[in-house]
Chains A and B, each alone.
Chain A
Amino acid sequence: MKKDRVKVQFPGAIDSHFSQVLEIREKMDPIDTFRVMDTDGKVLDPSLEPDVTEEFAVKIYKDMLTMNALDLILYEAQRQGRISFYMTNAGEEAAVGSAAALDPEDEIFGQYREAVTLLYRGFTLDQFMNQCYSNVLDLGKGRQMPMHFGSKALHFQTISSPLATQLPQASGAAYAIKRSGRKNCVMCYFGEGAASEGDFHAALNIAATTSCPVIFFCRNNGFAISTPAKEQYKGDGIASRGVGYGMHTIRVDGNDVWAVYKASQEARKIAVEQHKPVLIEAMTYRVGHHSTSDDSSAYRSKKEVEDWKRNDNPIVRMRKWLENKGWWDETKETAFKSQQRSAVLKSFAAAEKRKKPAVSEMFNDVYDKMTPTLIEQKKELEGLIKKYPEHYDTSDYAKEH
């Protein structure tokens, strides 16, 4: 049949050849999962040994630990009714490796379970707490649910709840960055469930056809709330789709910080130097519940979760790698954890005491300037508050300025 390898003339598939084999394809070979170290933190191929400083590696590890400390305290705070909502990052802390591969001015678009990347960029404990408490220092002015972080200074676009909407936005942002001549790219995170949304398709296709320097980073943690990945798609995960869009693609071990770091570094190079999008699928496991509104034992066994925690934990792997290097030990671990716990608690207590933003902030930022209708509605509320102070208690809110 090889002798008949004649290229087609059809404009829609110029690289195709004619064939006389009637073959309806079901599968391609599954895409391999790139890994640098095993579950004991041992680098499998010496040529892949990360060429990094102690300071850099320790910072990455400390951020993972800090994320974990934040998760524990804020999760409990929600259970006690002190904040309205929370989502942990447990099991997915290795995503910090992707942030470490970026330039600080690369723009990040996230879903909601990437707080560790914001932490890496320098979002402070206070800023995390202020957002979760919707207090007067929250950059978002108390308007969005907890976990919907954002920071212009840190090039981290504010999180929104609708899934996958950030994907085509990331493509557009990357296009604008490319046109500006800046040597930067966009990093866009999402889960494997979100990848079923139409916006995923729109985003990857438009990024490929318009040559956008964007990295699509999929956290494939096996579950979208209760829906297991096997009910989310039938193909070879998310990575196999990247190839379909004509995009550079890699699948990595998402519990291996160094695999995530190296893949992201390479992806960034392709995006910034060649102006091409890249898809990274990081395989991991969502150890925590979906959110504080979810009890995951209703759809998966506690034993399964415990096994993952014990057998393949990204924090433990990194700690072992650091210990092998002689850059970390039990003393440092204990000291850091205790110091970090008190820092988190201190920040937590301070955030809880702060007032909510002034009530009038409800009307700002709908538009760049308040419309006549909004000015009237603001006056209407002010009149009511004045008339019924016992019903509209504003003592927890900052004074109007």
Chain B
Amino acid sequence: MAFLKTPHLASAFCAATRNITHQQILVKSHHAAASSPPPAEGFMPGVANSKFIKSTHHEALRNPELASVANGETKKMNTFQAVNDAMSIALATDDTACVFGEDVAFGGVFRCTMGLAEMFGRDRVFNTPLTEQGIAGFGIGMAAMGSTAIAEIQFADYIFPAFDQLVNEAAKYRYRSGGEFNVGGLCIRTPSGAVGHGGHYHSQSPEAYFAHTPGLKVVIPRGPIQAKGLLLASIRDRNPVIFMEPKILYRAAVEMVPVGDYELPLGKAEILTQGNDLTVVGWGAQLYVLENAIQLAQKKMPGLSVELIDLRSILPWDVETVCKSVNKTGRLLIAHEAPKTQGFAAEIASTVMERCFLRLEAPPQRLCSFDTPFPLVFEKFHVPDMIRCAEGIERAMKF
């Protein structure tokens, strides 16, 4: 185990990230470079200026999904603080809830569990030995007893040792027992996605592996407000949920987040911008890339009207919202950071082709990472960045 200084975590994206240069992020590689990692160059332009970021109290509460906290206070939080806030509420409102994983007791390598052990006690927020299959199995056991288990896998890249526990066990627990038992109280949180210099094992987006597993839910938020509401819903949902947190947004995305207890719906997409010419679907950090790609395309094609959808839930996914949109626009583009072949975009594209065949005016476009392992120094060439997505929009419109 080695400590790798990561002065550049998200630094290219947001001034707010400058304060992390003193932070040390624990990584599992024994080959951590002694020299500085390559800087995270601008494959993802500033989140801070995004129209989807709610930086005022009023903007934040305009969302009808937040009706339950509409009269409440909001507080400025970044994504890791919002995740922390959600867990704090989950622990406060459910005596059976526990948070555990590698290094969560001191606050977590991404600070998501800061202060929780002090507030709720070491029997409720505790370190486990370094074993992902153990963490997942332990969480399943707790949930099987009716307790709430909020488990952390340090990086989504390291969830694979727990694949058997999640796919063969958690996902099938209710079904195989005829409903005698279930592990609905289980939620697995894990940081995922590109971070500028994460290389093979600190960058992956493994959602498609789990999307092939009936019985699991898979959820990915796009920022602090969404992270808090979706995480609380995931923790309380009566099914096992894998909650993937785009780690690049931990510090980069800052919003006014309602301080109250609220949930956002699972299995439901959110339309971020209404449009008539093209439907664009994304999730997590990719939405900010798409936002910029759309702006770039609109410069080239004035008047282009795009409907941008945040899928939010990968499994089960909101077929209705996406197909309704494509039936209106006749064109579809999907973008994700995971590799293209068998990525989740393939599922969306084929479903849309089944259901919207007569309405489609162009082949659905899939903008994904290339089919290689996630490469260190080639990151900006690997991921579906603004240029590639804008190019895809043009292809869809000019077909």
Q: Which residues of A line the B interface, CB within 8 A? A: 107, 109, 138-141, 143-144, 148, 150-152, 157-158, 160, 162, 165, 167-177, 179-180, 186, 198-199, 201-203, 205-206, 209-210, 364-368, 371-373
Contacts and interface: CB of A to CB of B under 8 A. Distances in A.
Interface stretch (B44-52, B176-184, B279-287, B372-380): B176-184
B138 A172 contact: yes
Given A168-B138, A199-B134, A366 B215 contact: yes
Nearest to A208: B129
Contact of A206 (B134, B143, B146): B134
A141 B178 contact: yes
Nearest to B129: A205
Interface in B359-373: none
Given A157-B144, A169-B169, A202 B181 contact: no
Contacts of B131: 198, 201-202, 205-206
A372 B321 CA distance: 12
A366 B319 CA distance: 18
Interface in B165-189: 165, 168-169, 172-182, 184
B180 A173 contact: no
B164 to A, nearest CB: 6
Interface of B: 96, 98, 123-124, 126, 128-129, 131, 133-147, 149, 161, 164-165, 168-169, 172-182, 184, 214-215, 217, 238-239, 267, 316, 319-320
Nearest to B139: A172
Contact of B168 (A162, A176, A210, A365): A162
B239 A169 contact: no
Contact of A140 (B143, B144, B169, B176): B176
CB-based closest 7 A-B pairs = A172-B141, A168-B137, A202-B134, A172-B138, A169-B141, A158-B177, A173-B141
Contacts of B165: 165, 168, 199
A165 B96 contact: no
Contacts of B134: 168, 171, 199, 202-203, 205-206
22 contacts: A139-B177, A141-B178, A150-B181, A152-B177, A157-B144, A158-B173, A158-B176, A158-B177, A160-B172, A162-B169, A168-B141, A168-B165, A169-B141, A172-B139, A172-B141, A175-B141, A180-B147, A202-B129, A205-B131, A365-B178, A368-B239, A372-B319
Contacts of A202: 129, 131, 133-134, 137
B144 A150 contact: no
Contacts of A107: 145
Contacts of A144: 176
Contact of A175 (B138, B179, B319): B138
B176 A160 contact: yes
A152 to B, nearest CB: 4
A272 to B, nearest CB: 15
B72 to A, nearest CB: 29
B177 A162 contact: no
Contacts of B96: 176, 179-180
